[in-house]
Amino acid sequence: MTSSEPRKQNAIQHPAQAAVGVFDSGLGGLSVLKELVKLLPEEHFIYLADTANCPYGQKSDAEIQRLSLEAMHFLQEQGAKALVVPCNTASAAALQVMREDAGPDFPVVGLVPAVKPAVESTTSNTVGVLATEGTLRGRLLQDVIEQFAVPRGVRVLKATHPQLVPLVEAAQLNTPVTRQVLRQTLDPLMDAGMDHLVLGCTHYLFLRDALFSLYPHLNLLDSGFAVAKQTRRVLTEKHLLAAHASGHIEIYTTGDPEEVAPVVQTLWGEHLTVKHAVYRKEEHA
């Protein structure tokens, strides 16, 4: 890949009033964007959904890294001063690569599955993690399990299903098909005594109603608010926190904006204009 040094230099020069980039494999990261907007209302956010390549869960780590770097470079070219990666799969496979590419003056905030609070709250000593295949095989999740669950003797059961992300991308949030897939995926964990479920993919936050209808006593945990707090802390440390501004949101997709816009409206709750993201061609060694 060609050097991204010009992008890094531009990022260094951006003032605090520049945008915060937010990148997800698809539209699931809108759930985290909501938390960011609530906590940082003065910030300008540019959200990029790589819907043309979604889902990431069954792609190789090398492919996820390539796609993540391309997304980051696009957001840097739009003037982003920092990057939030609410995508669990991209965080697991590419976070370190992205930070190395970006350099120390362009903060990159990733997502860590909410295993710690689940372990601290469980009464059955059995918690579950619902995530993509890419997240489940990643070292990031395993490190969190070893750090927090193993010392307390808490079992962490893992579950995945390739249809869940596409269902959310199609705005099928609480349909009979979605509930059937969830039961097929999670009933074995419930039978094993799970009392807390970590939603290890941002898409799954939009399945809360379906999950509550199926498992009304199951405790659901996600990392959205924690990511927003970490973003605020990092921006403050880097003197990049916006002030005295009226924040706004831009949405880009690598897919078809006309197809994506109605789903964005369903997930966000109001109309947001969706623009097509055109990447600058990059050469790969």
CA angle 10, 72, 28 (to 5 degrees): 140
Q: Which two tokens stand for residue 261?
A: 């816009």
Nearest to 54, CA basis, from 84, 93, 90, 94: 90
Question: Do β-strands 82-84 and 196-199 pair in parallel, antiparallel, or remain unpaired?
Answer: unpaired
> Half-sphere exposure of 121 toward its Cβ, with a 13 Å CA cutoff?
16
Q: Which residue has 């039978």 as its token pair?
A: 191
Do 214 and 10 contact (CB within 8 A), yes or no? no
Torsion sign over Cα 113, 30, 263, 260 = negative
List of residues 6+ apart from 266 with CB closer than 8 A: 171, 173
**Catalytically annotated residues:** 87, 201
List of residues 6+ apart from 43 with CB closer than 8 A: 19, 20, 36, 37, 235, 242, 245, 247
